[in-house]
Structure 1
Amino acid sequence: MSQNLTLARPYARAAFALAREANATPAWSQALTFASHVAADPQAHALLGHPQLLEADAVGLLAIDGADEAFTRFLGLLADNRRLPLLPEITGLFEQLRAEADKVVKATVTSASELPASELESIRVALKQRFGREVEIDTAVDASLIGGAVIDADDVVIDGSLRSKLARLQAALAN
């Protein structure tokens, strides 16, 4: 995995530079997301790794309708260098670069049950104060947390789940 990220990083940076230069980062984001979903499909993945696959066929398979010429050339470069299987990693790194440029922190709030919108807004405001940037929140539900929530934002994880509190209490009682 780390080798794939190392290989994908220069391509993601180049894609971001091209998208930003054309003032088309949202369009590139959408096109990369589509291409990475196709590339991650097991059948398409096997096809993309085939040595006899023509560059034009690979680009035709991965490009969305109406993709700009720079994006199709980018896909052609990936096909020519046999890097199409790296599209999911390239897309993830591209999205990180985009979030940094847009000064947005992406946070995931995992809770034991669905949180009301008012609580999510309170969390968003608190994270915005902490990071000094806009915050986009994704939610997930994990009943094994028992109660509370785990917030994963940037490189910060705040674990306020009942499961972790019980584990800490159990460790303290064992000592």
Structure 2
Amino acid sequence: MSQALTLARPYARAAFGAARDEGRVDAWSQALGFSAQVAADPRVAGLLSNPELGREQAVALLAPQGAEASFGRFLGLLAEAGRLPLLAEVAGLFEQLRAEEQRVVRATVTSATALSADELASLKAALKRRFGREVELETAVDAGLIGGAVIDAGDVVIDGSLKGKLARLQTALAG
């Protein structure tokens, strides 16, 4: 996976630069998301590795209807370089660059039970204070946490789950 990210990084940077220069970052984001989703389909993935697939065919297959001409050229560049299977990584890295530019932190909150709107608002405000940026929250429920929550904000993971606390206690007692 890290090799795929290494290979995808220059393409993501180039795509982001082109999108920013055009003032179309949101449109490129949507187009990349669409293309990555199409490329992830097992039937399409098999086609992408076929050497018989031409540049124009690949672009027609992956580009969303009404996509910018520059986006089509970008897909063509990926096709020529044999990098179309990296679309998911390119899209993910593009979104990271977009979040950094827009000073947004994306965080996933996994809790033992569904959080109320008030709890989410309070958590979002606390994370905004901590990171000094706007926060976009995604939520998930995992009853295996027993209680509490785990917040994953990229490089920062805050484990306030009962399961995590028990694991730390067990490690402390064993050591």
TM-score range, shorter chain: over 0.9
Question: Aligned equivalents of 1:13 and 1:168: distance in 2?
Answer: 39
Partner secondary structure for residue 106 of structure 1: strand
Question: Aligned equivalents of 2:40 and 2:92: distance in 1?
Answer: 13
| Equivalent residue number for residue 79 of structure 2 | 79
Question: Aligned equivalents of 2:72 and 2:154: distance in 1?
Answer: 31
The two structures, once aligned, show a CA RMSD in angstroms of 1.0
Task: Using the TM superposition, give the Cα deviation of residue 55 of structure 1 relative to its aligned residue in structure 2, in angstroms.
Answer: 0.7
Question: Aligned equivalents of 1:24 and 1:38: distance in 2?
Answer: 21
Question: Aligned equivalents of 2:109 and 2:96: distance in 1?
Answer: 18
| Equivalent residue number for residue 30 of structure 1 | 30
Compared CA separation, residues 80 and 172, structure 1 to 2 (3 A): closer
Question: Aligned equivalents of 1:146 and 1:24: distance in 2?
Answer: 44
| Equivalent residue number for residue 107 of structure 2 | 107
- Could you state the TM-score of these two structures normalised by the residue count of structure 2? 0.97
| Equivalent residue number for residue 13 of structure 1 | 13
Question: Aligned equivalents of 1:91 and 1:155: distance in 2?
Answer: 19
- Could you state the TM-score of these two structures normalised by the residue count of structure 1? 0.97
Residue identity opposite 1:16 in structure 2:
F
Task: Using the TM superposition, give the Cα deviation of residue 165 of structure 1 relative to its aligned residue in structure 2, in angstroms.
Answer: 1.4
User: Which residues of structure 2 form unaligned runs of 5+?
Assistant: none
For residues 117-173 of structure 1, give each alpha carbon's deviation from its aligned partner in whole angstroms, at most 9, with x where no partner exists: 111111110110011000000001111000000001131111000111122233344
| Equivalent residue number for residue 163 of structure 1 | 163
| Equivalent residue number for residue 97 of structure 1 | 97
Question: Aligned equivalents of 1:80 and 1:34: distance in 2?
Answer: 20
| Equivalent residue number for residue 149 of structure 1 | 149
User: Which residues of structure 1 form unaligned runs of 5+?
Assistant: none
Equivalenced residue count is 175
Question: Aligned equivalents of 1:170 and 1:92: distance in 2?
Answer: 36
Partner secondary structure for residue 19 of structure 2: helix
Amino-acid identity (%): 67
Residue identity opposite 1:94 in structure 2:
F
Question: Aligned equivalents of 2:164 and 2:35: distance in 1?
Answer: 38
